[in-house]
Amino acid sequence: MWSSTESQVSEQQNKYLKISASNSYDSNTFQLVPINTEIPVIIDSKIGEFKLYIRIRDFVGSKKFYNKSNSNYNCSYFDNENRNRANISLEIHFKPKMEINGNDLNFGNDFGHPIRDCLPYGTAAGMKLFKYLDPSATADIYSDQPFIYGKALSSFNIVNVKLEKQDFGKQDLKPKPIQENLYNIKTSDLEIPNDNIKRQNFFTSNNNLQNFTFLPGYEYKFDFFNNYITMRDSKFSLSLPGGFNLDLSNYLQNNSEVVKSVRWVIKKNVMDGIGVNFGDLGLVIQFELVDDNTTEYDDNIVKQDYITREELIVQQELTE
C-alpha cells in the first residue's frame, strides 16, 4: 500500500508528517502517535488521563517514524456516513482527576513562536467573525506565543459521556465513531440539546458553561473532525475562521523559522491568566513536517510505550 501512495507525493517533497503527543510542551516528553490504526496513545496528566486516536485521510508519514506496523494510508472511520467528508479526526477519551468547570476546560491551537508574519490578509476580520460565532473563545494570534482556545464543550463535534470503568477496558478492534449523548447529563440548571450542533451553540454561553462540571468517575469521549484541515500526503493546509486559507506546508517545506509545528492542546484554566504560559496542561498534540531524505526506516526511533495491534489481539483473546 505504501508503494502505491508514494507516487502521489511530489518527488521534490522532502518533509513528511510526524505526529506526537505529551502532557507537556517539553520536546523530550513526546510519544509518537500511530495513525489510522485504532491503537491509542495514553497520556497521564495533572488534570486527568487521556486516550488519543488520530485518523488522517490519505496519510503518508515520515519513513523515519512510520511504517505498516503503526500507520495506514486510510481507515474505515472515513467510510461512516457521518464522517465521510472529514479529512482528520482527533478522538480523545478523558477521565478527569478533579472537578473541572465547563468554562475552564479549553481546546484549541497554540504555538511556541510567532506566526504573525505568515498570516494571510484578512485574518483579523476572520478572527472577529470567529469570536462573534463563539463568544466563549479566546485568542491572540499576533503575540510572540499565539493561541486560539475554545471551550471543549463548544469546540468538539461530538461529546459522549459514560460512567468510568476501573480501567479503559478492552480495546475495540473495530470501533464505531462515537455518538453524541451529553444530553443524558441531567442537572437542575441545564437542559443540554440532543443535537450536537445545537449543543455546541448552547455552550458558547458563559452561563451554560459555568453550570456544567466535568466530574471524576466519568469518562468523556470527544471527537474533533472536519474538512477544513487537510494533511493528505503530508501536504498541510488549514482554513482559518472566515474562509481564509493558510498552506503551512509552504513554510515548513522551506525550513521556515516562522512556523515550526502546529499544536492542538487541552488545558485547564487557572486564576493567573490564559495563554501558552498559563493553565494546567492536559494533552498536547504536535503536528510537524520533518526531514525525510532517507528511505531507511529507523526501528530504534519508533519504539514507544503503546501496545502493538498484534499484542492487543492476543491480550483480548486471553481475557475472553
- CA separation for the pair 53, 40 (Å, rounded): 5
- CA separation for the pair 45, 129 (Å, rounded): 33
Span between the terminal Cα atoms of the chain, in Å: 32
251 three-class SS: helix
Q: Which amino acid is at 156?
A: F
Residue 41 confidence (pLDDT): 97
- Find where cell 467573525 sits: 129
Residue 33 confidence (pLDDT): 98
CB-based contacts of 10, cutoff 8 Å, min separation 6: none
Instruction: Please give the model's pTM, rounded to 2 decimal places.
Output: 0.83
CB-based contacts of 310, cutoff 8 Å, min separation 6: none
Residue 211 confidence (pLDDT): 95
Per-residue pLDDT of the chain (320 residues; tens, 9 = 90+): 333 343 344 444 678 899 999 999 998 999 999 999 999 999 999 999 999 999 999 999 999 999 989 999 999 999 998 999 899 999 999 999 999 999 999 999 998 888 888 777 777 888 888 888 888 889 898 999 999 999 999 999 999 999 876 454 455 555 689 999 999 887 767 999 999 999 999 999 999 999 999 999 999 999 999 888 888 888 777 665 555 566 666 655 554 555 568 899 999 998 777 888 899 999 999 998 888 765 444 443 333 443 444 454 454 455 44
- CA separation for the pair 140, 154 (Å, rounded): 19
Distance of alpha carbon 4 from its chain centroid, rounded? 28
Torsion angle of C-alpha atoms 229, 232, 233, 237, degrees rounded to 10:
-30
